[in-house]
Structure 1
């Protein structure tokens, strides 16, 4: 099924930045703080939100978080939201190496733990959305792919996310559930890179999130499959303990978790937590 495209805005991309992030020294830590959603609402109502909030977020969140970032800036004049979208594991590595960030939104609880166990976060990371996989095919689905088993067909060029990336770990679960073994032509470091291979017709199909299929519009076609229910990904979000702008960080998290934030995520295809 063809999905409609979403608008995008400026973002600090991971490509070309990861090496610099990993070279930074570790940030200092402070004690734990209050619940992000509650304190964010309080901070917003007090009118003390100002400055820039830096959000490291999984690549699959680009469209929905971009929209929420614009909304945040409208609600808090004088603020700015700077995004770093990329593979969750790459972003986590940058944070633990000392990259300055206020908020981390990951595509898996495992990746979030690699940050909270080392860098620390205020409160317990909150799951704000879930996502499921789809098969992205070329427009019109010329290879007539209807299931995971069809991906093992002779001559098909299939792309997967790397197994260390949340979308790759989910793909492995789904393929195991279907009893399918694949020999992909490449493993990509984030879900957008996997999808791009299909968009550029460098691959016939890729296992990506349904939200990414929707965001791609008519550049790809999505095929749902039942085994995706065995590999749902939870998306947790947390304010980092060393956040340079904690008040703005809490307010942004509160917006993500608000009814408006949930509606924005639902429009992008995310499932309720």
Structure 2
């Protein structure tokens, strides 16, 4: 092979290598790297975070937001057990403190507040008209378990009111409580104002001033695993926190009935 031919072949190989480098994982030129952001969030944030995830994906090419919703205490246990997570949004500060104290999350930022309310099935078959009615033996009341943020808030309200609630069930999340009310399995339930709003005509709200005794503050933080995965993943996690705490996220949360932090 002549010297000129060797140079031509070398240049061709170089061009091929550059072309392959420019291709993404799907083989398309310039395609972004596929990445997943895993967000664990309190059940009461389901609708808001689902909408925000669509906005986030639209602004970050190649990124998929994987959302997991449950009771905050359950999610906290999962993180402490090593479950994959980049961001954690809790419905209370106590659960978040467990994660931070264990070294599994950065300094949290408060991004919303929420209060409880009493909901009953349409028609109010139990005749619940006051918080005191929740102590009646003929009223089946469903609440969150004490270890769940909405459960600890329920206990705080009941203690402040001096009322012993007639509990027939304690649930792992506020959405489970709401489900038992909407299906008529319970005469009343204590859920967040935001959940009652989302339920619409499926429930009736009984306004009781006693619930003002407990205000839940929602913190959000980047999980240590995101930093361990590298600077790009940590940056992506911080971008999600910025979205939630920024103008777009705050507007979405306010529209869903959440209070300002």
Bin the TM-score by the shorter chain.
Answer: 0.7 to 0.9
Query: Match for 1:138 among 101, 118, 121?
Result: 121
User: In 2 relative to 1, CA 60–213 (structure 1 residues): closer, same or farther, beyond 3 Å?
Assistant: same
Which runs of structure 2 are paired with 1:103-252 in the superposition (5 Å)?
Answer: 103-122=87-106, 124-243=107-226, 244=229, 245-252=233-240
Long gaps (5+) in structure 1: 1-47
Task: Choose between structure 1 and 2 for higher RCO, CA contacts under 8 A separated by at least 6 residues.
Answer: 1
The answer to whether the 8 A contact 1:158-1:185 is kept is: yes
Alpha-carbon separation, structure 2, partners of 1:120 and 1:224 = 39
Change in Cα spacing, 1:139 to 1:250, as seen in structure 2 (3 Å) is: same
Distance 1:71 1:225 in 2: 36
Alpha-carbon separation, structure 1, partners of 2:169 and 2:76? 23
Alignment pair present for 1:262 and 2:250? yes
1:214 deviation in Å? 1.1
Return the offset for 1:223: 2.0
Bigger CA radius of gyration: 2
The residue correspondences of 1:11-90 to structure 2 (distance < 5 A) are 51-90=35-74
Match of 2:8 in 1: none
User: Root-mean-square deviation (CA), in Å?
Assistant: 1.5
User: 5+ residue gaps in structure 2?
Assistant: 1-31
> Where is the helix percentage greater, Structure 1 or Structure 2?
2
Cα distance, 1:121–1:139 mapped onto 2, change above 3 Å? same
Q: Count residues with an aligned counterpart.
A: 225
TM-score, with length taken from structure 1 = 0.79
SS in 1 for 2:48: helix
Asked whether the 8 Å contact 1:50–1:76 carries over to 2, the reply is no
